[in-house]
């Protein structure tokens, strides 16, 4: 078993998942994190370095690294790649002009060796803005159906949705996928079903009992 796998299994046993939240500047990364944490989304200032926030979900603690997406900061993203379990790539669905830039940056990111084992969740954010792209259109634009190197999923959402329940729920649905996918990958390889958190905990306990 490789060292990275051992580190990942140990962290999952401690119910910790390391998540990198990335995307172009202004996509809504910080707003999504604030929305999840129930904080005021009207007070968001650009992320100039990074914020680390912990989100509790399904009994797991997701350590989310929200990293500034300005062009000048992008070369520093790679400093945070080590032992990442999942990447959440946030897209401004209304920003058609920068969709090609977005595709190129995501593609470069996924070529990083240190992210080879990470799952990818794409949030098609800002769905409340009229005339924006649907999640299907964004999936095509980012060429997600062609992606074979990482397991991926796209989730439409709006961090500033007027409907608090729906806005929140779609973001939580995305996090559900992250937890199930990371657990499935680390414990069951790429071909298994998607276990619930409790099943994963049982698996961890039985594997540490036999270790
Ligand atoms: P970041 O640079 O990716 O962290 O983006 P921010 O979270 O700072 O958000 C950039 C701007 O987009 C802010 O003015 C937010 O209020 C706005 N924003 C974020 N999410 C949404 C959304 O879902 N809908 C709309 N209309 N605006 C949003």
DSSP 60: E
Query: What are the residues whose beta carbons fall under 8 Å from the beta carbon of 22, sequence distance 6 or more?
Result: 29, 67, 69, 77, 87, 88, 89, 90, 109
Atom from ligand 1 closest to the CA of residue 45: 8
The CATH code of the domain that includes 192 is 3.40.50.300
pLDDT at 71: 83
Mutation probe of ligand 1 site: the residue of 33, 44, 102, 130 with most atoms within 8 A of C-beta:
44
* 147/196 Cα distance (integer angstroms): 25
164 known ligand binder: no
In a domain, 6, yes or no: no
Structural Rg of the chain based on CA atoms: 17
* Number of structural domains found in the chain: 1
In a domain, 37, yes or no: yes
Catalytic residues, which ones? 70
In a domain, 18, yes or no: yes
Q: Which helix (H) or strand (E) is 34 found in, with range?
A: helix 29-36
In a domain, 74, yes or no: yes
In a domain, 7, yes or no: no
pLDDT at 117: 83
The pTM of this model reads 0.85
Q: Which domain holds residue 21?
A: 14-209
pLDDT, one tens digit per residue, over 29-63 is: 999 998 888 888 887 777 777 788 999 999 899 99
Q: Whose CA is nearest to atom 11 of ligand 1?
A: 26
Phi first, then psi, for residue 85 (nearest 5°) are: -85, -35
Phi first, then psi, for residue 134 (nearest 5°) are: -80, 170
155: how many CB neighbours lie within 10 A of its CB?
20
125 known ligand binder: yes
Q: For the residues 143-161, what does the mean pLDDT come to?
A: 93
In a domain, 119, yes or no: yes
Mutation probe of ligand 1 site: the residue of 31, 48, 160, 161 with most atoms within 8 A of C-beta:
31
| Strand ranges (E), the chain | 16-22, 50-57, 60-67, 86-92, 119-125, 152-156
* Residue 93 and residue 127 in contact, taking contact as beta carbons nearer than 8 Å: yes
Which residues make beta-bridge pairs with 53? 64
> Which residues surround ligand 1 with Cβ inside 6 Å?
23, 25-31, 44, 46-47, 69, 90, 125-126, 128-129, 158-160
In a domain, 105, yes or no: yes
Alpha-helical segments (H) within 52-98 = none
In a domain, 139, yes or no: yes
pLDDT at 180 over 70: yes
């Amino acid at each position: 078993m490789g060292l990275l796998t051992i580190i990942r299994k140990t962290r999952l046993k401690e119910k910790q998942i390391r998540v990198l939240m990335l995307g172009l500047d202004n996509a809504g990364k910080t707003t999504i994190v604030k929305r999840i944490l129930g904080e005021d989304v009207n007070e968001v200032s650009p992320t100039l370095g990074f914020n680390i926030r912990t989100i509790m979900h399904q009994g797991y603690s997701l350590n989310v690294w929200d990293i500034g997406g300005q062009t000048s900061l992008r070369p520093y993203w790679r400093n945070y790649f080590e032992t990442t379990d999942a990447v959440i790539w946030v897209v401004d669905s209304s920003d058609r002009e920068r969709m090609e830039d977005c595709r190129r940056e995501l593609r470069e990111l996924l070529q990083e060796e240190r992210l080879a084992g990470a799952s990818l969740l794409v949030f098609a954010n800002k769905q409340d803005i009229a005339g924006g792209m649907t999640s299907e259109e964004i999936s095509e634009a980012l060429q997600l159906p062609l992606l074979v190197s990482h397991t991926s999923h796209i989730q439409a959402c709006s961090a500033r949705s007027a409907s608090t329940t729906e806005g929140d729920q779609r973001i939580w649905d995305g996090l559900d996928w992250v937890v199930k996918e990371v657990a499935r990958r680390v414990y069951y390889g790429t071909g298994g079903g998607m276990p619930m958190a409790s099943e994963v905990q049982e698996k961890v306990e039985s594997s540490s009992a036999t270790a």
